[in-house]
Chain A
Amino acid sequence: MSLIELKDVSRIYDETVVPIRAVDSVNLIIDKGEFTAIVGPSGSGKTTLLNLIGGLDQPTAGKIIVDGTDISTYKPDVLINFRLHHIGFVFQAYNLIPVFTAKENVEFIMLLQNIPKTEREKKALDFLQAVGLGDRVNATPAELSGGQQQRVAVARALASSPSFVLADEPTANLDSASAESLLDLMENLNQNNNMTFVFSTHDQKVIRRAHRVVTLQDGKVKSDELNPIRIKNEN
């Protein structure tokens, strides 16, 4: 069974003078274990599409089935809970709570899931170790570099034991070295833990790292292809 399934999904912004078809009749299936990039020029609808998949926005038309549930008709409050337990998020920047340390940021999402304190603390340390920040657990976001902050965000996303991780332009604010190493981390987690990643980008270097590339243009899927080099690496 597919992990994510979009059936004829449209999202039309009609508050504007001329209605904008930000996502236009998209059909898309993403399976468990994919490492997929949503690409396209600015304004092509990447963020809108990820928001729809992530339950942050509701479609004007069509069905979105995530983890076997149709979330397209869920009420906002139900969606919050759904996101908490099914989806990990990494945003472009300012993901973290500035007054919390790295460890507390990771712990916090598990607190929201009502996981007991000792387990929370242990898991938080484990995940920070896994993203290579075992020695910076008590640093606040301001004391971390942009790349390190994004790693904490990845650790937080993983800590909630999600079905998949959505990342909207996770490398957009990073220099290329940090971007590469963040992708290394994500790819590792994908290979070793079979964690599904769906991320958006318009950076060619990042696109090359994806296993599957879905290209959007004016809200429509323009192309959907596998990346032969990366697929080969996998085997």
Chain B
Amino acid sequence: MNFKLILNIAFHLLKARLKQTIVAAVGVTFGIAMFITLISFMGGLNEMLDGLMLNRTPHILLYNEVKPSENQPLSLSEEYKNHTKFIHSIKPKDRGKSVYNSQSIIKVLKQDKRIIDVAPKVTASVLFNSGTIEISGFVNGIDMLAEDKLFKISDYITEGKIADLAQNNSVIIGIGLANKMLLSKGDIIKITTSNGDLTPLKIVGISEIGIAEIDNVMSYTSLATAQKILGQPKSYITDIQVNLYDKESAVELAKEFRKEFNIDTIDYQTANAQFETGSTVRSIISYSVGIVLLIVAGFGIYNILNMMIYEKMDSIAILKATGFSGSDVKWIFISLSIIIGLTGGIFGLLFGFIFSNIIDVIPFETTSLPTVKTYPIVYNIIYYIIGIVFAFCTTIIAGLFPALKASKVDPVEIIRGK
């Protein structure tokens, strides 16, 4: 088949109905542009909200859960092996929250090629005292460098610097805590641990995550200071936080580490299942809106092609009489719709990109995400590929029926009908 000739004929037919062609193509342009804009914006929102979560949640957390032993002594008994056993009033044994053998685990993890970095942490619930006020909260002993690398914690330090925690007995407290206790940078705050020890710490900074529940109770200090106020040795670690290069593999790796280190692990997806649902819903919305718009555009193309066939009956009859087969005629009309779809689609991508850019510069301030200044937009080549493939598919489907109809036009009927 001579595609050059077929395309040439298609172009000439289009030129003759330029206005309608443009209207049909604009329909596709509109659909694709809206799709690209929506999906980029939704993608941006998803990424922002994921960020909100991921900035605080490690991909994998290794810890020691307080829970009863899974293998109670009775299950070792040969005698009752095949019996159903009921055991009442089981209490967990206090093995402590400390991760056993934490130093060697950290060493192994640090050498793992799939891991960006490991941030060990000591968390403890404490009472903050200042004057007569006493507020319960948490102290996080962190490895400053690793914590900043994984969670960009310095973005949330509104006063002071994360590096100041390197000083002995220094602490950074949440803004809520600071406001309630009327404390500011440079003041002293007293901390009482659960075994009653009281330690005065110097406030070297204020943090603001933007979530009141956290800002009201949270404080940060160095690993060493935390271990000291708890009266624990240098090996005392309660959480080992791990971030991965490929965060999608978190579920599998969490399982792997659970086996390897005989420790409790939780991946970020399990820990934040509700976020995933939100992301999925937003994606579904944008895809469905895009598809609906394209279906509407598809009907536009279907209409114009149908109209064109009625108008061009004579031309179709001539083409057939002079030696073009039904399949040639079919391809002429399919090419027509592909031309409309592709030009409309390409302009749609362009406009989608432009609209995304416009949204991208509209200011959007939120305290919970200090790095976000404008509405979030994701530029992802995949969206654009999906967009053009969509445009292509809808136009082909919309063009197929008119094209088949055109291929079946009986030239005798037309020529006789005059």
B is bound to A:
no
